[in-house]
Amino acid sequence: MNNVPQMTRRSFLVAAAAAGGGLALGLRLPFGGPDAVRAADGLPEVNAWVVIRPDDSVVIRIARTEMGQGTMTGLAQLVAEELECDWSKVSTEYPTPGQNLARNRVWGNFGTAGSRGIRESNEYVRKGGATARLMLIQAAADEWKVSASECSASNSVITHKPSGRTTTFGKVAEAAARIEPPKDVALKDPKDWKIAGKPLKRLDTKPKVIGAQVYGIDVKLPGLLCAAISGCPVFGGTVKSFDAAHIASMKGVRKVMPVGDSAVAVVADHWWEAKVALEALPITWEEGSNATVTSASIAEFLKTGLDA
């Protein structure tokens, strides 16, 4: 597995935007925090981010955890809908807990549970996309010296309706980054949605299928070791004995140790080495008083209780 790079995607995007122009817009969250802060490169930072680079690619920040339920793609669709960007050029990234802490928890609670990811984020992420769209339109209008009300955006293209002139998000992104975000924005009627709520391909499918997705288990830190743990298969059971010498010479194995009185851990250089060694480790369990308990005996016990 690949190591996680020391330069984060966020720092790369900020550096790239500084070098080649771009827009990074914070989504205004209901969690407090500064109204606006400026990075050294001059890009506005507020909370969760929309980043638009000169090539028209859009990076949408997601503060809810993707666990297979589609929240990441769903939230990106909501932002993209109001942004009126080219969906084929959208990608996502997650702010880290460290970034959240360093910025006084501007992303709020990262918790994801109870099917609340979309429901609780819906309005503010849409406002973030809508705000970005208005800033981009204003930047184009300023360049053309026309009223922003005469301009519209669609598929990452801004059009001046009276003259037919067009430009792209990427071309005005740097100028848009210098515009004060509007305080009030109107959201689209859901009946007019073209991206949100539509059965689009999920953004996380391809990287997961080809093995490119980076998970927490892929993180590598200096001196980091990995452990695989086996617990007694019977509730209330304990470890009677294990033969550490049997796997001591296996590749990567550093230590074999008990975990409390009911589990054994193998510590190795890499997780796979720990897993393979653990599977080869002879362990004898003292299963205790629940050794003979089965689904059938539990059912009979419950039935007896009902008949009493």
Domain(s) of CATH 3.90.1170.50: residues in the chain: 225-290
Measured at the alpha carbon of residue 266, what is the angle toward residues 263 and 272, in degrees to the nearest 5? 125
Q: What is the pLDDT of residue 179?
A: 85
Domain(s) of CATH 3.30.365.10: residues in the chain: 9-209
Q: What is the pLDDT of residue 23?
A: 60
Q: Which CATH architecture fits 9-209?
A: 2-Layer Sandwich (3.30)
Handedness of CA 93, 192, 201, 171 (dihedral sign): negative
Q: What is the pLDDT of residue 106?
A: 64
Q: What is the pLDDT of residue 220?
A: 86
The pTM for the full model equals 0.68
Q: What is the pLDDT of residue 30?
A: 38
Q: Which fold has domain 225-290?
A: Aldehyde Oxidoreductase; domain 3 (3.90.1170)
| pLDDT average per 10 residues of sequence, the chain (308 residues) | 45 45 51 35 45 87 85 93 95 83 72 80 86 92 97 97 96 86 91 95 92 86 96 96 98 97 97 97 96 94 90
